[in-house]
Structure 1
Amino acid sequence: MGHAEVRELQIPKPIGGRLPERSVFASLDEERQHRKLKLAAAFRIFARFGLAEGIAAHITVRDPKLHDWFWVNPHAQHFSSIHPDDLVCIDDEANVHHGTGLVNAAVVSIHCGIHGANPDVVEASHTHAPSGRAF
């Protein structure tokens, strides 16, 4: 029997360059503004891809300063129009601490439960995609 040829493992190079690095902020207030901006952008992306079914979906992000508070969309505002200044900050009992407007009860039952049970979770998303409506 001959010897099997041993070849060196070739690891493919990543497509598109390096992965983004985690942002570093000068203050927790600066990080809060960044998270709110990214959250508003996420709502608009969800809207663009048809994931803003009425008022049935939500995205939450944990506040970097007050870890048991969460930023969320105001109830009944279409995702495509959400701006960082529109966001509402609530605690796990749905008390509003910043912003105005109502908060959907499902945010409290679903998202606050996720964030409360998983302290390392920064963001949680819940949507009713068109393909899921059939079920």
Structure 2
Amino acid sequence: MGGWQVICWALVLSTPLLIGPVWYLAAQHQGAISMRTWWAFGYVALFSQFLGFFAWYAGLAMGGIARVSQIQLLQIFFTIAFSALFFGEQVQPITWVFAVGVILTVVLGRKTAVRPATPLSTPPASPQPR
């Protein structure tokens, strides 16, 4: 089963389990969250998260999981940099030290040759026809 199918089935199977708690909590906090906020949440969930999975898994399939997946390690540092740039967040120097360490690890990992997996044991030879 492909990655996108796993995600879709996980959502389908988890939805019945979540309907009750969501309904209960929504009734408890009615009006605490505006309709505009719910629409924004739905938009982010559908487009950024759900549909973004399709592009991500396609990229993994095209470039190879071992190489492409390391790019995701850089995502948090882009988030930190953009939050500092656009929203004025204060970023501690130790954060940047670790960011450089992770970036160097990703660069090293991308330059490392990836070997194909070798089977743990060889299958028995088939008998020769007589």
With the length of structure 2 as denominator, give the TM-score of the two structures. 0.29
With the length of structure 1 as denominator, give the TM-score of the two structures. 0.28
**Rg larger in structure:** 2
Structure with more helix by fraction: 2
Structure with more strand by fraction: 1
